[in-house]
Each structure stands twice: as structure tokens, then as C-alpha cells.
Amino acid sequence: MHYIDNTGVAHISGAGSTVSDILKPLLIGENPLDNERLWSKMFGLTYQKGWSQIGATRQQILAAMAAVDIALWDIKGKAANMPVWRLLGGYRNTVPCYVTGGYYQDGKTIDDLTAECKGYVETGYNAIKLKIGGVPVEEDVDRVTAVREAVGPDIDIMVDVNEGYDVRTAIRAARLLEPLDIRWLEEPVHWYDRIEGLRQVADATTIPIASGEQALTRWDARDLLTRGGIKIMQFDCTRSAGITEVLKIAGMCAAQNVNLALHHDPQVHGHVMAALPNGEILETFPSAARDPIWAELFSVRPEIVNSQMELLDRPGWGLELNEDTLEKRGVRG
């Protein structure tokens, strides 16, 4: 990880060095409030000089851009003395949240799975996303059925295949899952068929299709919206291209009657979702092992109460870094 001005976090290996070695010379002396112009200047590296000649892949450049852009919005919020969610539009100050869990583990039984999910409900969550796609379809359907029976009809259940199925298997799984009232089916087909194959699955099931976390730019998002048949967009602006780009994607989604459920990193995506009328629900993780950034990195951050993130009225991202965590992780000292 590489931290930029409190909150910019680059997730792609090599993105940190891309910031210091490649983007820094472009940005020194620039006005940090000019995020659109600086975004375009950085994006030019993906095609102007030839990314292969500057020592970074396009994905690394876009990840580094995300970190810088997130930091620029922090600066803008602090300069305006307002939180980013209000700077972006301030549609609301709370955001609905779901919890991601139900992962496969050696020795984990269906009873263990249902106990886990009932625990989420007991802590106040009303929406749960489960991992599927790693065992035979019928076994996964049994797992999801058990969870539905355990949590009852009033809890939303989503399922995430992580691009684990071919099209035929995805369609078969979707049809078996339809009676369980699934809120969405996420990334059901292999990466190489995530547009045309996704559309085939979308056309074959009543379950809404969610995708977008692998998208790098608005052009990838455009293809998902116009050809992929998705109903939920899950772009991750901490992984690629930043806030400046996701705002454009949000407008594209609104024109297609598609809502956003942005992927991961609620400390950033919560602000974006709060600013957007078509921001549907935010992903969160209860496990420190699954999301150590959320669990350990911040001494001040929003809280999640009864499946709602309550955003803070503090300038910028409103976060304070935990110095003990930084020292432990070797970022300080």
C-alpha cells in the first residue's frame, strides 16, 4: 500500500512507485483543486508516450491515478471546509450497507455458515452477500437455501460468483437460485466473457446482474451498461481512475436506470454513494482479516449502525489515520 495525503490508497502492486516516479513530475507545482485537468494530464500517460516506455502498465497508472485523485478530493474538501460527500452533492448523509461473508473454509459446515449469517443479522445488518461458484452448483444452492431459511424472508441475499462460471453453468445456477429471492447475481461469468456472456445470463434470468469491479474506466463501464445487461454497477474508484471518473460513470448509469453498489473501501465509496441519487447500497466487511484497512487503519471513521453508514461532518474524507497501525505496518518511521 502507498498512502497519499491521509487517504489515497493504491491497491495494485507497483502503483505506489508509479505515483512517486511517474506521476509526481507531472503534478509538482499544479493547483490541486484542478482535478479534471490533472486527471486528463495523468490519463494521457496511458496512451501518449506509450505506457510500456515509462515503466508501468496501464492498470498501474490507473491505480496510481486513483490514489492521487482521492487525495485531491480530500484537499478540495478541506479547502472548502466540508466533507467530500457534501462537496459532491450531499444527497444524504447516511448510506445503506450490506455485509460480505459466507466464504468457503476448510471444515466449514452449513451450520457454521448459517450461524455466521444469523450473527450478521443480530448485529443489525439487513443485507448479506455470499460467496458462491467454488463448489458444484447444487452444493452452492443448498448453502444459499440454508441461509435463506435461517435469516428469513426479510433479509436481502446477494451472491457473488467472482467470474467463476461459464455461461451455461451461470444460467443453470441462476435459475436454481431464482426461488430464493436473490437481490443480485454478481460477476457470474469468466473474465473473458464478461460482456456478451454476461448479457446472455442477464437475458436468461429474473435475478438482476451486478458487475463492474474489474472495469478500469468509463469506457469499460459503457460496455457493461450497453451490452452486458447489468442492473447494478460496482465500479471501484479506489482501484482505478478515482472519484473524478466514477462521477462520470454514475451519470452514465443514471441514464440507463442502473444503480451503483460500489466495490469495497467504504471509507471512500460511502461519500460517493451519499452524493448520488442512484447510489443503492455499500459493501462492508466485518472481518479484520478480510478488510484490515477498514478495521485497523483509521482512528476516526464513520460508523455502521443497523445496516446504515453514518457519514461524518468533517472536512475532506473526515478520516484520521491510526499512527500505531502505520508504525506496525512499516509506513511510519
| CATH number of the domain enclosing 73 | 3.30.390.10
Non-local CB neighbours of 30 within 8 Å, separated by 6+ positions: 38
Non-local CB neighbours of 61 within 8 Å, separated by 6+ positions: 18, 22, 23, 42, 45, 46, 51
The residue type at 19: V
The answer as to whether 128 is a domain residue is yes
Domain hosting 14: range is: 3-81
State whether 102 and 205 are in the same domain: yes
Residue 80 CA to residue 289 CA, distance in Å, equals 36
Last residue of a domain, one of 38, 60, 81: 81
The answer as to whether 188 is a domain residue is yes
State whether 268 and 191 are in the same domain: yes
State whether 181 and 221 are in the same domain: yes
Summarize the confidence of residues 129-157 as an average pLDDT: 98
State whether 30 and 175 are in the same domain: no
State whether 73 and 128 are in the same domain: no
Last residue of a domain, one of 36, 62, 81: 81
Last residue of a domain, one of 50, 81, 112: 81
Per-residue pLDDT at 291? 74
Domain count, the chain: 2
State whether 71 and 137 are in the same domain: no
pLDDT at residue 274 is higher than 60 = yes
The answer as to whether 330 is a domain residue is no
Tell me, what CATH number does 291's domain have? 3.20.20.120
State whether 41 and 117 are in the same domain: no
- The per-residue DSSP string of 160-188 comes to E--S-B-HHHHHHHHHHHGGG-EEEEES-
pLDDT in tens, 66-107: 999 999 999 999 999 999 999 999 999 999 999 999 999 999
Closest CA to 201 of 229, 238, 180: 229
The answer as to whether 305 is a domain residue is yes
State whether 25 and 154 are in the same domain: no
Distances (CA, A) of 249 to 74, 240, 264, 269: 20, 12, 17, 13
Summarize the confidence of residues 171-200 as an average pLDDT: 98
The answer as to whether 333 is a domain residue is no
The answer as to whether 332 is a domain residue is no
pLDDT in tens, 208-263: 999 999 999 999 999 999 999 999 999 999 999 999 999 999 999 999 999 999 99
